[in-house]
């Protein structure tokens, strides 16, 4: 008899397998053709009951897809963020590693786009959490004097929207390095603290 821990591990592995198959089918076939039957075929599952056992419907499955994409992106970006020291370096690392993830995982991007474009009611918590993390980064930079004074929520939402918009173009072939360079320059200029005036410039 399996222990509870073993059963839990097996369940999580099966759910991850199903989510990965859903990502691939969404990216390849689109939202309308991402059926449980198509996911079973891609995953090599014998019956769609293996999906409905874990997910009550498409919305719950697509919520798991979004969660998986966010988790994969976080794991990919973590080393760059951990290596960056200071708010400005953190901001650059966030942008560059996020764009690099998009370039290397186009199926993840296409899957989430298919869900969003078809207005599936999922992903709101992940989006809010992503903006909240940026708000924290900007607020920390303001406390240390690395960033000027601005509304951190507005800036966080603007950065998240910019990356999401450019993701589509990167997947379609835009050079990710060029994209990252431009976004780093744009948001560095938008956030950096103004240097104090030179002594001779004071009146």
DSSP 27-70: HHH-STT--HHHHHHHHT-S-THHHHTT-SSHHHHHHHHHHHHH
148 — alpha (psi -120 to 50), left (phi > 0) or beta?
beta
Rounded CA Rg of the chain:
21
The alpha-helical segments, DSSP class H, found in the chain are: 4-29, 36-43, 49-52, 58-83, 87-104, 106-117, 124-144, 152-171, 176-191
31 — alpha (psi -120 to 50), left (phi > 0) or beta?
alpha
Q: Which two tokens stand for residue 76?
A: 């990919």
pTM of the model: 0.85
pLDDT for 198 equals: 61
Q: Which two tokens stand for residue 147?
A: 């960033």
pLDDT tens by residue, 162-191: 999 999 999 999 999 999 999 999 999 999
pLDDT tens by residue, 93-138: 999 999 999 999 999 999 999 998 886 666 577 788 889 999 999 9
Q: Are 76 and 97 in contact (CB under 8 A)?
A: yes
Mean of pLDDT over the chain:
90
């Amino acid at each position: 008899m399996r222990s509870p821990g073993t059963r839990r591990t097996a369940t999580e592995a099966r759910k991850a397998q199903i989510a990965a198959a859903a990502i691939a089918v969404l990216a390849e076939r689109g939202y309308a053709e991402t059926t449980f039957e198509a996911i079973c075929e891609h995953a090599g599952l014998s019956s769609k009951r293996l999906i409905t056992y874990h997910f009550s419907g498409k919305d719950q499955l697509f919520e798991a897809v979004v969660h998986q994409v966010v988790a994969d992106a976080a794991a990919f970006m973590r080393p760059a963020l951990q290596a960056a020291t200071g708010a400005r370096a953190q901001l650059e690392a966030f942008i560059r590693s996020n764009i690099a993830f998009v370039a290397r995982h186009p199926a993840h991007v296409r899957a989430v786009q298919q869900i969003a474009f078809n207005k599936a009611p999922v992903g709101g918590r992940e989006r809010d959490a992503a903006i909240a993390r940026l708000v924290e980064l900007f607020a920390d930079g303001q406390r240390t004097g690395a960033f000027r004074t601005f509304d951190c929520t507005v800036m966080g939402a603007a950065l998240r929207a910019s990356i999401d918009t450019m993701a589509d173009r990167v997947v379609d072939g835009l050079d990710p390095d060029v994209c990252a360079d431009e976004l780093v320059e744009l948001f560095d200029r938008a956030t950096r603290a103004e240097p104090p005036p030179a002594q001779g410039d004071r009146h």
